[in-house]
């Protein structure tokens, strides 16, 4: 496979990401990608959700389908070659029996049958078809790419998001009020299962030697993950403290570098609780549709950093520059949403470094 990323590049990004996690890097991590498409060729439009590919493809054929897009991608700054095994957000729901619906450009999970919360008993099933498929595709990618590309964990999901896939969102909202003890029981069981699924995938991914990365653009030479609870948009800080914080704390205890996917303004009321989780290393901020982009939330970003957390955002080149000018770059991981050529990336990296030094 022709990946445009050398062993020296891997050594560099591993060194710099390690320093960033340790708080020893005085600049931001800046990730930029570009495309180099051969003449008379178009960039392959491969569905990013694996369940949307033909059912009769083998795991090896699935991996081959994603080869060309990676080969045509160029990685600048602190970016690196990665392919993550995308079976939809919160795939553990399917591992535990929820129905997986593959639609043209997305994947959904819904209960296979309606079960009262008191009768729900989630259990690890080594023969679950979706779990077996994730294992097979992850193994095939690691074997095929032999450390040239980092193979990311599938999107395992968050505890209440997974539980909502087994009960429906509406039922879980009611159960948080009417059956909180059962919710306590189930989130504890789901957290234990989450750690088991993570560990089994880690045992496949780690020997390749590239480190670990979830669906989000963070890289660790050790055990990292982007934790989440999108369901928390709909609950109070008191419920977040009861139902979500213990799960996040338990996962962070087992991870070297745990991050939190804070998706939407409805999660802002939970910030103090997130900042209080000692081993939570950082927060990814996504404001949501209809709101200013992440790079414009200076006071919130400063609150994360003043609270001792790292921060990752998606932003335009102009947005990245504004963050560095206003807050400084240290502690930020900036994914630049605009593709660039090698020269454009080099020029931009020089510009952002100069702005950071001048602040």
**What is the pLDDT, as a whole number, of residue 287?**
97
* CA atoms of 264 and 289, how far apart (whole Å): 8
* CA atoms of 315 and 331, how far apart (whole Å): 15
**What is the pLDDT, as a whole number, of residue 1?**
67
Cβ-proximal residues to 281 (8 Å cutoff; 6+ apart), any chain? 21, 252, 257, 258, 259, 309, 310
**In this structure, are strands 29-35 and 332-336 parallel, antiparallel, or unpaired?**
parallel
**What is the pLDDT, as a whole number, of residue 40?**
86
Query: How large is the greatest C-alpha to C-alpha distance in the chain, in angstroms?
Result: 62
**What is the pLDDT, as a whole number, of residue 147?**
87
Burial pattern 278-295, b for ≥16 Cβ within 10 A else e, equals eebbbbbbbbeeeeebbb
**In this structure, are strands 82-84 and 150-152 parallel, antiparallel, or unpaired?**
parallel
Q: Are 279 and 256 in contact (CB under 8 A)?
A: no
* CA atoms of 165 and 114, how far apart (whole Å): 11
List helix spans (H) across 97-244.
129-145, 159-167, 169-178, 180-205, 237-239
Sign of CA dihedral 72, 78, 81, 82: negative
* CA atoms of 67 and 1, how far apart (whole Å): 8
- How many other CB atoms are there within 10 angstroms of residue 242's CB atom? 16
pTM above 0.85, yes or no: yes
* CA atoms of 261 and 158, how far apart (whole Å): 10
- Burial class from Cβ neighbours inside 10 Å (0-12, 13-18, 19+) for residue 253 reads exposed
Closest CA to 310 of 230, 242, 216: 216
**What is the pLDDT, as a whole number, of residue 359?**
81
Positions of E strands within the chain: 29-35, 73-77, 82-84, 99-103, 106-110, 150-152, 224-228, 257-263, 280-286, 310-315, 332-336
**What is the pLDDT, as a whole number, of residue 244?**
98
Angle between helices 129-145 and 180-205 (to 10 degrees): 30
Closest CA to 156 of 85, 104, 217: 85
**In this structure, are strands 106-110 and 99-103 parallel, antiparallel, or unpaired?**
antiparallel
Sign of CA dihedral 103, 105, 107, 110: negative
- pLDDT tens for the chain, 359 residues: list them: 688 899 999 999 999 999 999 999 999 999 999 999 988 889 988 999 999 999 899 999 999 999 999 999 999 999 999 999 999 999 999 999 999 999 888 899 999 999 999 999 999 999 999 999 999 999 999 999 988 999 999 999 999 999 999 999 999 999 999 999 999 999 999 999 999 999 999 999 999 989 999 999 999 999 999 999 999 999 999 999 999 999 999 999 999 999 999 999 999 999 999 999 999 999 999 999 999 999 999 999 999 999 999 999 999 999 999 999 999 999 999 999 999 999 999 999 999 999 999 98
Q: Are 155 and 162 in contact (CB under 8 A)?
A: no
Q: Are 313 and 334 in contact (CB under 8 A)?
A: yes
**What is the pLDDT, as a whole number, of residue 95?**
98
Measure CA 240 to chain center.
Answer: 20
- How many other CB atoms are there within 10 angstroms of residue 81's CB atom? 22
Domain positions in the chain: 41-71+81-209
- Residue 253 has phi, psi (to 5 degrees) of -65, -30
Record: fold of 41-71+81-209: TIM Barrel (3.20.20)
């Amino acid at each position: 496979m022709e990946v445009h990323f050398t062993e020296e590049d891997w050594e560099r990004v591993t060194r710099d990401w390690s320093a960033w996690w340790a708080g020893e890097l005085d600049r931001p991590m800046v990730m930029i990608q570009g495309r180099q498409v051969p003449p008379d060729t178009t960039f392959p439009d491969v569905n990013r959700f694996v369940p949307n590919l033909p059912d009769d493809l083998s795991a090896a054929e699935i991996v081959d389908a994603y080869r060309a897009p990676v080969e045509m991608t160029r990685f600048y700054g602190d970016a690196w070659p990665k392919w993550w095994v995308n079976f939809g957000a919160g795939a553990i729901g399917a591992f535990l029996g929820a129905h997986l619906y593959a639609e043209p450009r997305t994947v959904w999970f819904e209960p296979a049958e309606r079960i009262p919360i008191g009768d729900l008993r989630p259990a690890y099933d080594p023969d679950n078809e979706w779990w077996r498929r994730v294992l097979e595709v992850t193994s095939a990618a690691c074997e095929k790419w032999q450390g040239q590309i980092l193979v990311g964990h599938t999107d395992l999901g968050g505890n209440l998001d997974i539980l909502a896939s087994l009960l429906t969102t509406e039922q879980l909202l009611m159960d948080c009020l009417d059956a909180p003890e059962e919710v306590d029981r189930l989130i504890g069981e789901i957290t234990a299962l989450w750690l088991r699924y993570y560990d089994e995938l880690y045992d496949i991914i780690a020997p390749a030697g590239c480190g670990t990365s979830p669906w989000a653009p963070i890289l660790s030479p050790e055990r990292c993950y982007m934790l989440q609870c999108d369901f928390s948009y709909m609950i109070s800080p008191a419920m977040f403290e009861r139902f979500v914080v213990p799960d996040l704390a338990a996962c962070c205890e087992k991870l070297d570098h745990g991050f939190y996917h804070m998706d939407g303004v409805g999660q802002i009321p939970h910030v103090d609780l997130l900042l209080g989780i000692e081993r939570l290393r950082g927060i990814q901020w996504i404001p949501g549709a209809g709101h200013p982009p992440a790079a414009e939330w200076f006071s919130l970003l400063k609150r994360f950093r003043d609270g001792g957390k790292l921060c990752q955002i998606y932003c335009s080149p102009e947005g990245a520059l504004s963050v560095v000018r206003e807050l400084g770059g240290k502690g930020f991981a900036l994914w630049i949403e605009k593709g660039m050529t090698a020269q454009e990336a080099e020029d931009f990296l020089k510009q952002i470094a100069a702005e950071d030094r001048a602040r």
